[in-house]
A and B are shown apart, each in its own frame.
Chain A
Amino acid sequence: MDLVTVWFAIVVLCWVLFFTLEGFDFGVGVLAPLVGRDEHERGAALKTIGPFWDGNEVWLVAAIGVTYAAFPAWYAALLSGTYLPMVGVLLLLAGRGVALEFRGKHSDPRWRRRCEVVLALCSAGIVALWGALLSVFVRGLALGADGEVVSQPGLAAGLGRTVAPLFTVEAAFGAVAALVLSVLLGATFLALRTTGPVRLRAHRVAAGAAAGVVALGAAVAVAGLTGATLAGGAIGASTGATSTGLGLLVVGALVAAAAVVVAVATRLGREGAAFAVVSLLVAGVVVAVLLANGDVVLPSTLDPAASLTRESAAATPAALGLITAFGAVAVPGVVVYQVWSYWVFRRRVASERIATA
């Protein structure tokens, strides 16, 4: 395997870890007001992600940083081509992080309530936006020969230049799917990490969200049957079967089956298994999205020649060699100490033991 492939795999790994680990952070953020009836319970729900969210968010920093280092042209085209959506992502992430970190540092109930509201809204917004953006990863941008998205007449001019790609059926489907999956991920994580009424409510939410995922899988399968290329085109494309629709059918069925497994596992109280299956499902979707176009990392909707491929976007062999030397040491180290931190805080968080002050 050459270095370009290795680093593409590392980029995929970073995105997978970001979407699965932060996926449950966002899910918990959305669910805290739902599974926690009082301040203690909401505090317990948020304490399950308290020690981890910051370290989890660094996987986004890593995904973007590694893309910059290994595929500078991809980094430049993607971020400048999704300028305003990225401004949205950054500001929502700011609201989320600060609300989560500031909530417990003040004893005023109103302060905490406000933080919870900001946290829930921002978490939901981030997930929906990323879901829509993942559809853009697959569909591509109106890249010109210089790798830039230029203003086009009509809606895609001025302010609309980078917002227009989000107004597609795929993007809407991506937003909804991401929200449902994130809620399912958050609910199974809460079920695994809490006790008492919070845990019980998390079970109920998990059951509902699993039903939602079954519906999403069914929608993908139906799209495959009817030959429509809309929903889940990403996933279908990655199996190389978009044209036949058979791929979509299979993928949709797989997703629905996984959701059923999650629902049954939760019902049986196999919370660890349920969480693991949802995590794998999310990871699978992210991998499918990033591999959807094969060697092309960012398609151009204007001209196939302007599409960015792994090779055309890659940094020089020297730069890749350099980061390989560091990555070989640093990345396994990061994984080891992050796993250790999850081990340190492996015990369940009981809401009765969370003080108000």
Chain B
Amino acid sequence: MDITRLQFAVVTIYHYLFVPLSISLASLTAGLQTTSVLTRDPERAQRLRRSTMLVGKLLLVTFAVGVVTGLVQEFQFGMGWSAFARFYGDVFGPTLAIEGMLAFFLEATFLGLWFFGWDRLPRLVHLATIWIVAVGTLISAYIILGANSFMQHPVAYQLDPTTGRAHLSSFAELMTNPVLFATFPHTIAGAAMLGGALLLSIGSWRRWIGPAPAGAAGSPEARNADPDQRAFAGIARLGAWTTVAGGLATALTGDVLGKVMTSVQPMKMAAAEALYTTTTGAPFSLLTIGNLDGSRPIFSLDIPYLLSFLATGEFDSTVKGIDDLQAQYSQQFGPGDYAPMIPLAYWSFRAMITIGLLSALIAGVYLWLTRKGLDPREPKASALPFMSQRLFPRPLVQLSLRMLPTLPLLPAAAGTAGWVFTETARQPWLAFGLTLTKDGISPGLTAAEAWFSLAAFTAVYGVLAVVWLRLVKHLVAQDLADPPARPAVPLPHEDDDGEGVNPDRDHGHSAQPVIPAY
């Protein structure tokens, strides 16, 4: 039932647009708030508090979408994949349950405490709540990636000889899967790129293009001097640094992950390179045009020896090709087609790398153009070192600044391409070497149900995306606001939890500080 597979892909890819944003925004919010607490300069502290508030609100609305789409994931293993749930329940179930008990409760409860607790909790306790959220997102990511790593490289299980079901032999071993060690930092680095790109797009838009804050309308001088504009400039540069750092970390960890993957799933890496025959000193292919069914290359442009180096760390090592692996697996697992869709694997792998690097590069250029508080449109900003010539003509800079709000699309696309590669190039396996994807689907599911649910999820998710975008746009266009302050004395009104109903008593509009609405 291919519809079920398509549905899993759709809802999972969608869910995974919001997850990396939540992961990175949680840590960025925590970092911003910590700096605001640590700084001695009261003006800077206020700027940072206001920035914290904005990023925190973005986190909240993103987290909400992540929660409701994440719930779908947890249900889906039973709804659409009951055969898989029965056979791998012992391995998968504890992982999901432990993630929920250990991490998800933390995130959900403490995020509420953080947002509503500004005027209720002591300052450091309040700061701790957002850090707990941030750590919770990382624990969640680690455990869920542990479940995925099991599918990439099954470890810590025994097959029951009578029922054929997998039994978990050691949770510690499941959580120390070599694939997990490589994939977790790679995923977190990718998440950092997405969150960073969002901050860069927001900050740069408000600083250079979008509506000026109420107090800074009019002259460019007023705009430059406005504290909120300085806050937006800071948000943009924080985002740019995060994207660049995330980009470097993604590249380094990706290299490690590639080597691990070559050893545990050689077919996946052969597919990524469209390497059909086993080759010693294999070249890295920059571009390949294959025949229509993707089974043979027609033309390719290569860098000699690079693939062997990337796959194993040695230039003259041997990399196994698709044809040999197919023969090997047919012998091992019985007749069948054990190769994934080669063009999809090849191009998603390249899209991930190039789009990811491009977004880090753009962030790097932004950092350079805005160094030392320069206006990127000034001639000085884009002057080459030791030369008076401008590297970028002014119209190009202007256009780029206008395009910058769309930057998050790049790391989002790179991340999606990466997961499409990871998951589709493992096919036909659901858990590599153990069970085929087609055997995991709920046996009772009817085609009508699968089509109906796919349509329903797609429609609702589409609406969700539009509403989320509108709200983010609205939040970003607002003037920055201070978080609610903790009152010096308890509010008299609120201590009323008296017995008996006396509504008249509650009617008086006393002069009280106004707190933001929920």
Contacts and interface: CB of A to CB of B under 8 A. Distances in A.
A139 interface: no
B112 A54 contact: yes
Given A43-B518, A54-B67, A161 B449 contact: yes
B275 to A, nearest CB: 39
Interface stretch (A227-235, A240-248, A329-337): A329-337
Contact of B75 (A64, A73, A315, A350): A64
A42 B499 CA distance: 24
A148 B443 contact: yes
Contacts of A61: 71, 74, 100, 104
Interface stretch (B56-64, B201-209, B382-390): B56-64
B488 to A, nearest CB: 16
A98 B464 contact: yes
Contacts of B6: none
B368 interface: no
Contact of B442 (A66, A83, A195): A83
Interface string A106-131: 10100000000000000000000000
Contacts of A1: none
Interface in B52-104: 57, 60-61, 64-65, 67-69, 71-72, 74-75, 77-80, 82-83, 85-86, 89-90, 92-94, 96-102, 104
A91 B407 CA distance: 30
A104 interface: yes
Nearest to A59: B105
B336 to A, nearest CB: 24
A87 B443 contact: no
Interface string B157-172: 0000000000111010
A215 interface: no
B101 A326 contact: yes
Contacts of A337: 105-106, 109-110
A158 interface: yes
A100 to B, nearest CB: 8
Nearest to A62: B100
B74 A322 contact: no
A203 B89 contact: no
Interface stretch (B276-284, B318-326, B451-459): B451-459
Nearest to B116: A51
Given A75-B78, A348-B497, A316 B60 contact: no
A126 B34 CA distance: 39
B115 interface: yes
Given A47-B518, A79-B82, A90-B72, A196 B507 contact: yes
A350 B507 CA distance: 10
Most buried by A among B79, B96, B447, B457: B79
Interface in B489-508: 491, 493-497, 499-501, 503, 506-507
B109 A338 contact: yes
Contacts of A268: 500
A148 B75 contact: no
B512 A353 contact: yes
Contacts of B75: 64, 79, 86, 90
A83 B77 CA distance: 11
B8 to A, nearest CB: 13
Please classify the interface of chain B as helix (H, G, I), strand (E, B), loop, or mixed, using the class held by over half of its residues.
helix
A98 B63 CA distance: 10
A83 B445 contact: yes
Contacts of A338: 105, 109
Interface in A303-351: 315-316, 318-319, 322-323, 326-327, 330-331, 334, 337-338, 341, 344-348, 350
B480 to A, nearest CB: 13
B124 interface: no
A69 B93 contact: yes
Interface residues of A, number: 95
Interface stretch (B308-316, B338-346, B429-437, B467-475): B467-475
A77 interface: yes
B518 A326 contact: no
Please classify the interface of chain A as helix (H, G, I), strand (E, B), loop, or mixed, using the class held by over half of its residues.
helix
Contact of A159 (B448, B493, B494): B448
Nearest to A201: B503
Contacts of B252: none
Contacts of B105: 55, 58, 62, 330, 334, 337-338
Given A268-B500, A353-B514, A316 B96 contact: no
A147 B96 contact: no
A16 B102 CA distance: 20
Contacts of B169: 318
A80 B467 contact: no
B460 A94 contact: yes
Contacts of A355: 514-517
A149 interface: yes
A315 B93 contact: yes
A105 B89 contact: no
Given A97-B67, A102-B61, A65 B503 contact: no
Given A69-B97, A91-B460, A341-B109, A318 B89 contact: no
B71 A60 contact: yes
Contacts of A87: 79, 452-453, 456-457
Contacts of B94: 69, 315, 319, 322-323, 326
Given A94-B460, A195-B506, A81 B444 contact: yes
Interface of B: 57, 60-61, 64-65, 67-69, 71-72, 74-75, 77-80, 82-83, 85-86, 89-90, 92-94, 96-102, 104-106, 108-113, 115-117, 120-121, 167-169, 171, 442-449, 452-453, 456-457, 460, 464, 467-468, 471, 474-475, 491, 493-497, 499-501, 503, 506-507, 509-510, 512-518
**A-B interface, 8 closest residue pairs, ranked by CB to CB distance from nearest:** A72-B89, A79-B78, A69-B93, A148-B444, A269-B500, A69-B97, A51-B112, A55-B109
Given A104-B516, A151-B446, 5 more contacts: A58-B108, A62-B101, A97-B64, A97-B68, A105-B61
7 contacts: A54-B67, A58-B104, A91-B460, A159-B448, A315-B94, A330-B98, A350-B494
